[in-house]
Amino acid sequence: MAGDPDRRSGGPSVRFYAQHPALRARQLAADLGMLLWTVLWVLVARAVHGAVLALAEPGRAVEDLGRSVAGSMGSAASAAEDVPVVGDELATPFDKLAGAAGAVRGSGQSAQDAVGTLATVLAVVLVVLPVGWLLLRWLPARLGWAREAGAAQRLLAGTPDVELLAARAVATAPLSRLAALPAGTGAAWRAGDPAATRTLAQLELARLGLRLTHSGPDPALPPRS
């Protein structure tokens, strides 16, 4: 066989795009579509996050009010404590009001925290669900093609191992593609004809959008009758 076993003993070659313009254009369009889809949902998530955070304004207002009242009541309690004899009694109501205001402030802060958590969860869901849905369809196909194209690229390195590629085409190519080949291709391949072997190898490479470099003209195959 024409291939070099030592060449295939290393790690697989990596290829991200096909050589054939039509398939390469589809791959680029799919990759760009995936990128734009991701950017779109990130922008949507940011917009929703900001809109939901706006709902925290009432909680912020309640927190500010509670802080202000607590500060005022605390100051009043401190002033009342300075009154001789009855200072402690006078300060008690103000202390209670300050405590109540502190509870109101805590409620406002809790409301803001809840809104912030909701905004974050919604933003994450809006990115993960649609992007993940498309990613699960796009990534396996892309990685699968890259693995097969890389393996084919290794077979093409140095002296192309066209026999293996031809055998792969015979075993897996659709019957419609095989039927479109010139008559006698199968018999010529079994007989070791170089032209038939290269034709079948190119059929397999065409599935991946790759090309077989020709080192010279192949002898013509008999036309299909």
Confidence (pLDDT) at 138:
94
Q: Which of 157, 180, 197 is the last residue of a domain?
A: 157
Query: 87 with 150, same domain?
Result: yes
Confidence (pLDDT) at 107:
75
Residue 7 lies in a domain: no
Contact 156, 187 (CB under 8 A): no
Query: 25 with 46, same domain?
Result: yes
Give the number of domains in the chain: 2
Residue 2 lies in a domain: no
CA 174 to chain centre: 32
Query: 194 with 181, same domain?
Result: yes
Confidence (pLDDT) at 125:
95
How many whole angstroms separate alpha carbon 158 and alpha carbon 192? 20
Residue 8 lies in a domain: no
Q: How many CA atoms lie within 13 A of 85 on its CB side?
A: 0
Residue 6 lies in a domain: no
Query: 139 with 166, same domain?
Result: no
Confidence (pLDDT) at 224:
41
Residue 61 lies in a domain: yes
Query: 144 with 186, same domain?
Result: no
Residue 149 lies in a domain: yes
Query: 131 with 70, same domain?
Result: yes
Residue 152 lies in a domain: yes
What backbone torsions phi and psi does residue 11 show, to the nearest 5 degrees? -70, 160
Confidence (pLDDT) at 142:
92
Query: 20 with 122, same domain?
Result: yes
Q: Which of 141, 157, 173 is the last residue of a domain?
A: 157
Looking at residue 215, the DSSP 8-state letter turns out to be: S
How many whole angstroms separate alpha carbon 177 and alpha carbon 222? 17
What backbone torsions phi and psi does residue 207 show, to the nearest 5 degrees? -60, -30
Task: Please choose, from the candidates 67, 115, 75, 68, the residue with its C-alpha nearest in 3D space to the C-alpha of residue 94.
Answer: 75
Residue 217 lies in a domain: yes
Q: Which of 137, 157, 177 is the last residue of a domain?
A: 157
Query: 38 with 132, same domain?
Result: yes
How many whole angstroms separate alpha carbon 69 and alpha carbon 101? 6
Give the domain extent around 172: 160-225
* Tokens read off for 116: 């912030």
Query: 221 with 153, same domain?
Result: no
Q: What is the mean pLDDT, run by run of 10 residues, along the chain of 225 residues?
A: 48 76 93 96 94 80 69 66 61 68 73 86 95 95 90 82 86 86 86 87 88 54 40
Query: 23 with 116, same domain?
Result: yes
Instruction: Write down the pTM of the prediction.
Output: 0.67
Confidence (pLDDT) at 86:
59
How many whole angstroms separate alpha carbon 162 and alpha carbon 200? 8
Query: 83 with 164, same domain?
Result: no
3-state secondary structure of 219: coil
Query: 35 with 74, same domain?
Result: yes
